[in-house]
Amino acid sequence: MSETFPTAPAPIVTRLNPGDVPAEVVERLRAGAIVAPTGAALLDLTGPGAVASFQGLLTSDIEQPGDGAFVYGALLTPKGMIVVDGWAARLGARVRFTVPSEGRERAAAILHRSVPPRLARTVDRSDDTAVLRVAGAHAVAILSASGLPAPPHGHAVEATLEDQPLEIARASDRAPFVFQITTDAEHQAAVIGRLVRGGAVVADAAALELARILAGWPRLASEVDEKTIPQEIGFDEIGGVSYTKGCYTGQETVSRLHFRGHPNRHLRGLLYEMDSPAPPAEGWGTVTEDEREVGRVTSIAWVAGADRWIGLAVIRREVPVGAVVRAAGREARVVTLPFDIPAPRPA
């Protein structure tokens, strides 16, 4: 893959240690809302062929929902492996693709290579645009109290705050955040201030990571490596792939697996024993069952308040839910996703 795309980010285990996300922030996810900058990259595809061109690349469908769609999906290699994932907002003749910062160059490379300039042009807005996310069970109420419009699930709208333009998008109900707000970087503080006055608490990227892990949502370079196909990390469950849209790059592999086979691996949750004498080990940990290697740990987090460790792992499909495995050196139980100890639930 490296001959076609910029070098993939080095694989890591995302880890949140005690103190990274305080108990009061966890409580706000459960019964309130937080707002946090993401540091995500943002690419605009504009032109008469922007929507059709992006439809031919993304695993999910951005045409059928119509103008204002906000969908999650991935760009794949021709063999169906994930290059980069992200959220796409369709507004008029523009598609705005928000991707992890680690996937910025890879997303840009695909768009520049695959979309003819006569149809649409790619503009990297990452350096001059702020991307904020609002998460938590009361996010809808707090956005309303802030005087900002709350679009329905899977939609994006344009709005203004003190005559400054911004874009508000609402994710699917399974997503780890409720709203994504993009605005000029110089106006980020004003947007955060308005949300705080509406009742939100300012948090950092670690809080968004905890929400992601609780939701069982994959992350580039942790759950996603250079050989990951969408179904292995739950794209069917989280709405990241369409089996009814037209052709897109990598579709043949994805469709064949869906209709004629099954993935050999699944993304699962790890619930560590509460009385474990030590935390999961640092580093890229293996998952073993009866001394047989069956997967890899991808994310680990301490949940303050619940006071226990949880994790995500890509595990072979024959390992059943409920099995006790050894993951990153400690015993853990395999569970379905999302977690419920507690998990942020949009109102």
Q: What tens digit of pLDDT does each residue of 85-106 get?
A: 999 999 999 999 999 999 999 9
pLDDT of 1 = 45
Cα–Cα separations (whole angstroms), residue 158 to 127, 161, 238, 264 = 20, 10, 25, 42
What HEC string does 121-156 produce? EEEECCCCEEEEEEECCCHHHHHHHCCCCCCCCCEE
pLDDT of 343 = 46
Q: What would you measure as the largest C-alpha separation in the chain, in angstroms?
A: 62
Tokens 């905890």, residue located = 210
Structural tokens at position 114? 């695959």
Checking DSSP bridges between strand 179-184 and strand 82-91, what pairing results, if any? unpaired
Residue 143: closest CA among 193, 200, 188, 228: 200
Q: What is the DSSP letter of 79?
A: T
Q: What is the DSSP letter of 186?
A: G
Residue 316: closest CA among 289, 291, 284: 289
Residue 298: what are its φ and ψ, rounded to 5°? -120, -35
3-class DSSP assignment, residue 168: strand
pLDDT of 278 = 78
Q: Rg of the Cα trace of the chain?
A: 20
Residue 27: closest CA among 228, 246, 201, 221: 201
Checking DSSP bridges between strand 201-202 and strand 34-37, what pairing results, if any? parallel
Cα–Cα separations (whole angstroms), residue 188 to 107, 226, 239, 270, 299 = 24, 34, 30, 36, 29
Residue 334: closest CA among 344, 320, 345: 320
Phi-psi region of 194 (alpha: psi -120 to 50; beta: other; left: phi over 0): alpha
Residue 80: what are its φ and ψ, rounded to 5°? 90, 15
Whether the Cβ atoms of residue 301 and residue 317 lie closer than 8 Å to each other = no
Half-sphere exposure of 156 (CA within 13 A, CB side): 27
What CA dihedral angle connects 295, 298, 302 and 308, to 10 degrees? -20
Per-residue pLDDT of the chain (347 residues; tens, 9 = 90+): 444 677 667 778 999 999 999 999 999 999 999 999 999 999 999 999 999 999 999 999 999 999 999 999 999 999 999 999 999 999 999 999 999 999 999 999 999 999 999 999 999 999 999 999 999 999 999 999 999 999 999 999 999 998 999 999 999 999 999 999 999 999 999 999 999 999 999 999 999 999 999 999 999 999 998 899 999 999 999 999 999 998 999 999 999 999 988 899 999 999 998 876 678 988 768 999 999 999 999 999 999 999 999 999 999 999 999 999 999 999 999 999 999 875 444 44
Distance between CA atoms of 255 and 257, rounded to whole angstroms? 5
